[in-house]
Amino acid sequence: MTETPKNQPNSLARRPKWPTSTSRPVVTPLQPSVVYASPDPDALDAQYDEGSGFTYAREGHPNASVLAQKIDGLEGMSGGIITGSGMSAIGAVFLGVLQAGDHVIGGDQLYGRTLRLMADDLPKFGVQTSLADPTDANAIAAAIQPNTKMIVVEVVSNPTIRIADMDGIAKLCADRGILLMVDNTFTTPRGYQPFDHGADIVIHSVTKLLAGHSDATLGYVVAKDPSLMEKINIANVTWGLTPSPFDCWLAERGLQSFDLRYDRAEATAIELSAALAGLPGVTRVLHPSRPDHPDHNRAAKILGNRPGNMMSFEVAGGRKAANALTNAAPDLPFAPTLGDVGTTLSHPASSSHRALSEAGRTALGISEGFFRVSVGLEDPALLIAELTEAIAESQKA
């Protein structure tokens, strides 16, 4: 090593040459660069004309591209994009596709923030919205207006685990020329393939099962029609809804084990729901695998043998029992997320559904003793033991 001569002009701000190597990294490199330098104006012009390559990270970067391609593969599509969150995926669709005077119908049990976006934000831009019960295609049909542009549904409702009438809704959309957008976060491409069943647009909160480790907040959106996809992409870039390279890098790493995680968590959810259903004090267990599920036949038809990792249960004894239950299960994080490697518990009455009146919650079947479980990767026997103990404690309260 030669020493840098003293008193030379400072060049620390110059980026070093990247060392070359004929061997290549096996792991996806993380590329945080905001900008990409071009050799000359002709080259930059050509790149813009082709719409290829990278110029500025808000407009696209390699870590978003590789992640999008992987999720495209799962959904059987191409041209999907990554957004900064699940909500920004929904935002990019609304901003790219809708205009003042349009009407949108949403399932009445959509993710809470999606409901809020529809109730409070879209009307500010002159877009009308209605909510209807997606388990009943007739209720959705009754909400259709001449200006209905889009119907937004989740296949499995949160936290009541009801199954939407996807075939009925898809037929309505096809007959009336309405766009069908499916939020496939809960079901994932492993449980449901929306494009095989009439969807026009699919979004994901990648934050949840796909990334799977609760350390990255991201979304994904893909549309069947390339011209629609272009509008959504432009909205994503223009409104700055685009993702961080680091989050994409983490999510791409997490996604490598998605299929294994999903299968394991789903198998455990089947086992756990069967075990909880027999316990004293448990008044209800909701999982699509169970024959007593209110939509069991539809679940079998739509999801086949992929009932997923999300389940809910109810204990007798109201809020007092609920407090005792979470206190007796300190190793099961009581936290409002889902799809993590670890099992999490949530209590909708005090979190996602606290803004509803008690009558509103009762109508949905959400009592003070109602819990949602996002089943993770723990040993099923451990989970069953922990919840059995916690439920027993809840009944002493």
Ligand X SMILES: *Cc1c(COP(=O)(O)O)cnc(C)c1O
Residues binding ligand X (CB under 6 A): 85-87, 111, 113-114, 154, 183, 185-186, 205, 207-208, 217, 219
Q: Is 147 left (phi over 0), alpha (psi -120 to 50) or beta?
A: alpha
Q: Give the span between the Cα atoms of 188 and 208, in whole angstroms.
A: 10
CB nearer ligand X, residue 207 or residue 394:
207
Cβ proximity to ligand X, 115 vs 299, nearer residue = 115
Closest CA to 318 of 209, 222, 397, 226: 397
CA 230 to each of CA 6, 225, 279: distance values in angstroms, whole numbers, following the listed order: 54, 9, 52
Cβ proximity to ligand X, 155 vs 387, nearer residue:
155
Contact 99, 172 (CB under 8 A): no
CB of 340 to ligand X, least distance (A): 12
State phi, psi for 322 to the nearest 5 degrees: -65, -45
C-beta of 86 vs 189, nearer to ligand X: 86
Distance of closest approach, residue 24 Cβ to ligand X, in angstroms: 32
Nearest distance, CB of residue 67 and ligand X, angstroms = 14
Question: Minimum distance between the CB of residue 219 and ligand X, rounded to whole angstroms?
Answer: 6
Instruction: Identify which of residues 113 and 197 has a Cβ nearer to ligand X in the complex.
Output: 113
* Cα 5 to the center of its chain, rounded Å: 56
- 3-class secondary structure, 110: coil
Q: Rounded to whole angstroms, what are the CA distances from 258 to 14, 44, 160, 253?
A: 40, 38, 24, 9
Give residue 59's identity as a one-letter amino acid code.
E
CA distance readout (Å), 320 to 327, 345, 368, 391 = 11, 16, 8, 12
Indicate the residue among 80 and 219 with the shorter CB distance to ligand X: 219
Q: Which two tokens stand for residue 14?
A: 């110059």
Residue with smallest beta-carbon separation from ligand X? 86
Nearer to ligand X, 205 or 367 (CB): 205
Q: How far is the CB of 112 from ligand X (least distance, A)?
A: 9
Distances (CA, A) of 79 to 72, 73, 224, 228, 242: 7, 10, 9, 11, 15
Cα–Cα distance measured from residue 322 to residue 390, given in angstroms and rounded to the nearest whole number: 10
Nearer to ligand X by Cβ, of 60 and 86: the residue is 86
From CA 361, how far away is CA 349, in angstroms rounded?
7
- Rounded Cα distance between 17 and 44, Å, is 21
**Min CB(90)–ligand X separation in Å:** 7
Q: Which is nearer to ligand X, 154 or 165 (CB)?
A: 154
Q: What is the distance between the alpha carbons of residues 50 and 209, in angstroms, rounded to a whole number? A: 34
Least distance (Å) between residue 207 CB and ligand X: 4
* Least spacing, CB of residue 191 vs ligand X, in Å: 13
The CB-of-125 to ligand X minimum distance in angstroms stands at: 20
